[in-house]
């Protein structure tokens, strides 16, 4: 918000609108965008969603004189006003933010707008605000405008996911492959919870992990036999919008790394 009392002389040179005509035209255009607008003490006031925004007409008219382009100045100030309003009205609710796993391709061309961190070779961590019927993915700009630091957002998100419960059930008794006991709002992202990872430690210190979908997580002890079985399990058909990864990972010492197949040429000898 800005407010500076002005005293600018009318300027008719170069085909520019004089001060009076400019103010009248600017006021009409703001009313089309925001509704009721009033002028007082050489400032322009408008109220939206219980927020009052004040612009100095001196600043606006000076920018117009400098640029000579009315539409450019009008559009820029409308954008600035909406920006002020959005900062006032969008507040991140720290109690309902969570980290979630998504493939590296998630977000497409807009991915760079969101705050995200690398989880594994082809998986990213995004941060969302749970708004009941939808998840709002937090952008870098929203975090910057919120008054919170990135570290505060991250710390609170991980604290929140630690409050979500889920457990592992044996999927196959013979080879001891485990899967999530039930589906909750976070699904396979529960692996980001330190509380959940303590369950993994009880299974073994060297594990195979597969995260094929948002609601699917598979875990087994790391053996070559299990590698072969798990590799086939992650190839099941999954709707693309729910797919996370068809890769296998090794979980050891609280770190996750991609399992890479080695090319070995074998020949059958009779």
List of E strands, the chain: 37-40, 43-48, 51-56, 97-103, 116-120, 123-130, 135-137, 168-172, 177-180, 206-213, 216-221, 248-252, 255-258
What pLDDT, in 10s, does the model give residues 85-94? 776 656 789 9
What pLDDT, in 10s, does the model give residues 140-191? 888 887 878 999 999 999 999 999 989 999 987 788 999 998 888 899 999 9
Q: How many CA atoms lie within 13 A of 123 on its CB side?
A: 27
How many C-beta atoms lie closer than 10 Å to residue 112's C-beta? 9
What pLDDT, in 10s, does the model give residues 110-134? 888 899 999 999 999 999 999 876 8
pTM of the model: 0.67
Q: Is the pLDDT of residue 231 over 50?
A: yes
Q: How far apart are CA 216 and CA 232, in angstroms?
A: 14
Q: How far apart are CA 220 and CA 172, in angstroms?
A: 10
Q: Is the pLDDT of residue 240 over 80?
A: yes
């Amino acid at each position: 918000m800005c407010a500076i009392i002005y005293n600018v002389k009318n300027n008719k040179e170069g085909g520019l609108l004089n001060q009076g005509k400019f103010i009248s035209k600017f006021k009409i255009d703001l009313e089309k965008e925001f509704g009721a607008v009033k002028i007082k003490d050489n400032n322009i006031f408008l109220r939206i969603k219980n927020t009052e925004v004040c612009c100095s007409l001196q600043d606006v008219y000076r920018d117009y004189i400098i640029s000579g382009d009315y539409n450019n100045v009008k559009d820029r100030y409308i954008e600035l006003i909406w920006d002020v309003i959005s900062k006032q009205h969008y507040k991140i609710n720290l109690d309902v933010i969570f980290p979630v796993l998504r493939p590296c391709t998630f977000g497409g061309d807009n991915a760079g707008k969101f705050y995200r961190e690398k989880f594994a070779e082809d998986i990213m961590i995004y941060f969302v605000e749970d708004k009941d019927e939808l998840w709002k993915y937090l952008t870098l700009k929203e975090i910057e405008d919120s008054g919170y630091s990135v570290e505060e957002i991250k710390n609170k998100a991980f604290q929140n996911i630690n409050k979500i419960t889920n457990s592992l059930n044996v999927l196959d008794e013979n080879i001891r492959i485990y899967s999530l006991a039930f589906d909750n709002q976070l699904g396979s992202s529960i692996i980001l919870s330190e509380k959940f990872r303590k369950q993994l430690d009880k299974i073994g210190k060297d594990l195979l992990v597969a995260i094929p979908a948002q609601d699917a997580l598979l875990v087994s002890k790391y053996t070559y036999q299990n590698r072969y079985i798990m590799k086939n399990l992650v190839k099941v058909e999954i709707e693309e919008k729910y797919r996370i990864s068809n890769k296998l990972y090794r979980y050891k010492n609280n770190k996750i790394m991609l399992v890479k197949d080695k090319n070995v040429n074998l020949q059958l000898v009779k």
